Structure 1
Amino acid sequence: MATDSPIRFNLRQLGVFRSVAESGGIRAAARRLGLTQPAVTHAVRELEQGLGVDLFVRSAKGVRLTAPGEALLLRTQRILHEAQSAQAELEQMGGGLGGRLRIALSAAASSVLPQALSDFRAQRPDVVLELREMTWPTRLDGWREGEYDFAVLAQADVPHVPHQDALERELLFAIPAVLAVRTGHPLAGARSIAELAQALWLAPGYGMEVLDLLFAQCQTPPPRDIIYCHSVSIALSLLRATDAVGVVSSRLFLDAGASRGLVALAVAEPLPAARVCVVIRDRQALTPAARLFIDCLHQAAKAL
């Protein structure tokens, strides 16, 4: 009968290993960790001996990861982040203060973030918050390693398109999409998607599904000239300065400043909405602070 293998390393060794991998050398890692070079070398050697593999190729120029080293580094990031989350959760459960909450956000979260942040701060002013803009987890360094507690992202509400990942989603709200062009655009009077087939398009990260659905409605091949833009500010600048057609949130036109110089096209075809969701990599790993912030987001969404 198979038994679990004993663990042949500890968190300290993994922390030293990560520092050496990220610094590119023993000396740089020692300075970073405040340790002596022999201490760093010893920790790495112990780890290699315990695992039975070489983690680094050593040379006069420094070190580089072997294939086993690269595999271990990916898992090391996860292990250390999970250990930090576990410590934070236990401290919070024990009535301790502090902790850190890392959240990845797309621009769509701006509709609920201020209220959710205010409500969260009223209950947990001690938690350090780290917010980072993103469009989708696979495009963000640190997501796979568990660096972020959760994300708030927009995704096209396209029927019959299953999710190709193992991420959990909690719907906050849906935003109708509109097509926007600059004032004076030669296609500003377009009334059908088919009239826009030859235009330059600006689409969000999930835009391929949106464009496929739009042009399928009028039995027209989707456009070939597409720019996928993952920054709202850059997309708006390009829309104002070019003849591109952009897929944007209808909420844009509730803000006179943000929609300055742009007009919405009155096309006949309905556009799919964007579903703004909380995206969770591992629900069991959520700390009490993370769960509270998610609750605050849901409450803020109900008020929209």
Structure 2
Amino acid sequence: MQQGITIRQLRGLVTLAQTGGVTAAANKLGLSQSGLSLLLQTLETSVDARLIDRSARPLRLTLAGERFVAIAERILEDVELASSSVRDDGSRGGRIIVAALPTLAAALLPQAMARFRRQHPHVTIQVRDALTEEIVTRVRAGDAHLGLGAFLDVGEGLATQPLLRDRLMLLAGRNFGDGKKTTWRAAAKHPLVMLTRDSNIRQLADRVFVEQRLQVRPAFEVSYISTAVALVQAGFGLTLVPQLEARFFNRSRLRALTLAEPFVDREISLLRRRNMTMTPYLRDFVDIVAQMQVRAK
């Protein structure tokens, strides 16, 4: 790759991809159409690749262009974060992207976001609900500033900040048992709707089943807790859920029982890149999310 790629070139290509045309992109950037076209041509020369399919109407990116734009967006995001970290506290705008497990996106983030907005009304928060593997990938790639989930192993370059412990419970129909607590051995005797093996809940459950030498063959395997809950409501078995999820159940049809012998907790943490620029308003958001653990217990 040749030298000389500039922020203006990256912003020009990203804006073209967002607007879908040279005229709209040029107007948004305050450039002439010829000026933007020249900017994009010099970018293609610098990377020695054709990024734009000019034969298409409207213009569209080539495959190389689509890959390049994804990286360019992250670079521009980091530049904006670096700039905002030294110029203000978010009073003139900013953006925080959080990738979170669906459970936590529903149970913890709304309260934290409402409190943060009162302090920083000009900062936008975007939520990406995703499974654990995708959260780690997004944070590592810079597609999200923070991750919120239960992380067993995140690898190098990432750091976690423990927030709270969320106990696993058994979700069953109203006619299951007569107490508020049951055991893993009792649960294993019934058809189980399990999450897929990339789920931290499934990994914790499998560990208990192996340790207790329990033979478990899931009746169903699904990716999302909402799907598992629907199957339990329809009478297809039992499922494992985190305690934070229990507040959203239809209690007239379902019961959440504490699983004992042993009690199993998953640790909920914030995830970020070790070398990420922490703006003042990003630090404030982290502090607010950390304080949500008091309400979650």
Structures share a fold, TM > 0.5? yes
Among 39, 50, 53, the alignment partner of 1:43 is: 39
8 Å Cα contact 2:190-2:237 kept in structure 1: no
Structure 1 position 285 matched with structure 2 position 282? no
The residue correspondences of 1:260-271 to structure 2 (distance < 5 A) are 260-265=252-257, 269-271=261-263
Aligned to 1:54: 50
Among 198, 208, 213, the alignment partner of 1:214 is: 208
Aligned to 2:164: 173
C-alpha root-mean-square deviation of aligned residues, in Å? Answer: 3.7
8 Å Cα contact 1:16-1:29 kept in structure 2: no
Aligned to 1:65: 62
The separation in 2 between residues aligned to 1:173 and 1:142, in whole angstroms, is 22
8 Å Cα contact 1:108-1:154 kept in structure 2: no
Q: Which moved more, 1:74-83 or 1:138-147?
A: 138-147
SS in 1 for 2:191: coil
1:92-138, Cα deviation, whole Å (9 max, x unpaired)? 25x85432333233323655545544553454344333334333362
Structure 1 position 78 matched with structure 2 position 78? no
Identity %: 22
The separation in 2 between residues aligned to 1:60 and 1:6, in whole angstroms, is 27
The separation in 1 between residues aligned to 2:112 and 2:275, in whole angstroms, is 20
Alignment: residue pair count: 287
* One-letter amino acid of the structure 2 residue matched with residue 220 of structure 1: L
The residue correspondences of 1:1-304 to structure 2 (distance < 5 A) are 7-21=3-17, 28-34=21-27, 37-56=33-52, 58-60=54-56, 62-67=59-64, 69-92=65-88, 96-106=91-101, 107-108=103-104, 112-113=108-109, 116-117=112-113, 119-136=115-132, 138=134, 143=139, 145-155=141-151, 162-164=153-155, 166-184=157-175, 191-193=183-185, 196=188, 199-203=191-195, 205-230=199-224, 232-253=225-246, 255=247, 258-265=250-257, 269-302=261-294, 304=297
SS in 1 for 2:271: strand
- Unmatched 5+ stretches in structure 2: none
8 Å Cα contact 2:170-2:239 kept in structure 1: yes
Structure 1 residues 280 and 266, CA gap change in structure 2 (3 angstroms):
closer
- Unmatched 5+ stretches in structure 1: 156-160
TM-score w.r.t. length of structure 2: 0.76
SS in 1 for 2:77: helix
